[in-house]
Structure 1
Amino acid sequence: MTAPAQSRSVPPRSDPAPLARRVAAQARYEALTMLRNGEQLLLLVILPLMALVALTLTDLLDATVPAGASRVDVAVPGALALCVLSNAFSGQGIQTGFDRRYGVLRFLSTTPLGRGGLIAGKLLAIVAVLVVQYVLVAALGAALGWRPEAAAVLVSVPVLLLGAAAFTGLGLLLAGTVRAEATLAVTNLVWVLLAAVGGTLFPSSTLPAGLTWLVDVLPSGALGTALRETFLTGTPTLLPVLVLAVWAAAAWAGAVRWFRWS
């Protein structure tokens, strides 16, 4: 009798996960990395909340508060604009810059995730962190007496997303063209300047007349203006929205053209 043939073990197939699952996993990793880092958490959450409290409890905004509104009505939009600046520009720019320096970007771009999946994951992570920021700012604002209209809250979402698109493009453009250390220095300096005098926390009307027009055409000034108009009047005017759209288009065009993966 012949011996029975031995069955051969067939190694299991290792097909990559569906693209949506890969992008979601990358987004989760990116978001948790930002939120678990102490320095990033300070930038993303603590400083915007501190700014909200300071602007509400002091008289810094009194000259810009319209009739029938309160300080917190002007302070919350500024804090949300600062969240976008911290998240999409500084946070993602710094993280991407150092990922590029250590070869992480080049490695991930050769995996099944691919370059498109990596960028999509970063965008989803920014949105996820922005949701957390929005909830925290809104909760603190409510504790300080903020009572926005429901329609204004809904309108603020696309405004915030447009602002996030503009600042993400700028952050990636910077992170993909200069050294990581330079990205860290520039993003921190720009964050301070745009937060203080770039129309983020304070309306451009608080600045000297000669600087008002300059701040109004900055992405920070346009985002701050659009959010304040949204919560104070129910809808933003066309000009700041157009300014944000132009910045978003130009920033992403530059990132696509000049971003280097290593």
Structure 2
Amino acid sequence: MTAAIQEPAPLLRRILLQGKYEARTMLSNGEQLILAVFLPLLALVGLVVTPLLDGLGSSRVNIAVPGILALCAMSTAFTGQGIATGFDRRYGVLRFLSTTPLGRAGLIAGKALAVLAVLVIQTVVVTAVALPLGWQPNAGGILTGALLLILGAAAFTALGLLVAGTARPEATLAVTNLLWIVLGALGGIVIPGERLPAGIQAVVPYLPSGALGDALRDAFIAGTFNGPAALILLLWTVIAGAAAIRWFKWN
């Protein structure tokens, strides 16, 4: 009597399960949690209680929150996912999972799903803190802002996978953390470009950080869609994604 052959679960279920696993792993890691939640919240409070954002046409909190949401996207999609993928690659996890029924496409989809799940949690937490501080997002820009946030997360995920798939894990750790600090401080993501040193103002709008920060501020403050910024985010997503597909090393 032969044993029945167990069929693999449908692809969608495999992706959902992988995404759930990836998200739980990210949220259970203390360092990732600090980077994804606590540091953005500290930055939000700091921007609200200091005069750094005064004179920009809106309240401190209204200017700060879009940048903090953009920072959350960069923290999770670029730094967090990049580091996790880099060490998964070192320990052979990527190579093993890519040979299972999940496959390489399913694995990448699961990672992207995990980023979105964590980003939703980050958005809820930031909103819960920002509303009592006086945040008043433009109702007409909430949906636009949400879509732009997803696009920004896609761009940073592609960049994170590109770094993680081409560099050694130690280099990935150093590069992603360093860029998080540099882009967070000088990339236009939290502090608008007009408040940055004159020498870098011309470059900031073309960075994924600056484009996402500008796009979210326009959406949540004025309720408008920043087409050029969205196009820049799309280009970063396509170019970084294509480069990751071309040069990603699974072992």
TM interval, short-chain normalised: over 0.9
Report the count of equivalent residues.
251
Q: Calculate the aligned-residue CA RMSD, in Å.
A: 1.0
1:47 aligns with 2:36: no
How is 1:141-160 mapped onto 2 (pairs within 5 angstroms)? 141-160=130-149
Equivalent residue letter for 1:33: T
Equivalent-residue separation in structure 1 for 2:156 and 2:18 (angstroms): 20
Partner residue, 1:62:
54
Q: TM-score, normalised by structure 2?
A: 0.98
Report the counterpart of residue 160 of structure 2 in structure 1: 171
In the TM superposition, what is the alpha-carbon distance from 1:150 to its structure 2 partner?
2.7
Q: How far did 1:11 drift?
A: 2.0
- 2:7 alignment counterpart: 15
Identity between Structure 1 and Structure 2 (%): 60
Q: Tell me the alpha carbon deviations over residues 206-225 of structure 1, each in whole angstroms, 9 at most, x when there is no partner.
A: 12333111111100000000
Q: Does 1:180 align with 2:169?
A: yes
Confirm whether residue 81 of structure 1 aligns to residue 73 of structure 2. Answer: no
- Measured in 2, the distance between the counterparts of 1:234 and 1:99 equals 40
Shift of 1:237: 2.1
Match of 2:190 among 201, 218, 224: 201
1:215-248 residue CA offsets vs partner (Å, 9 max, x unmatched): 1110000000000111111023221111111111
Q: 1:133 — aligned with what? A: 122
The alpha carbon displacement at 1:48 in A equals 0.7
Report what 1:5 is aligned to: none
- Under a length normalisation based on structure 1, what TM-score does the superposition of the two structures give? 0.94
Number of the residue aligned with 1:105:
94
Structure 1, unpaired ranges of 5+:
1-7
In 1, Cα distance between the equivalents of 2:224 and 2:111? 29
Deviation at 1:185, TM superposition (A): 0.4
Deviation of residue 12 (structure 1)? 3.2
Shift in Å, 1:155:
1.0
For the pair shown, the structure with the greater C-alpha radius of gyration is: 1
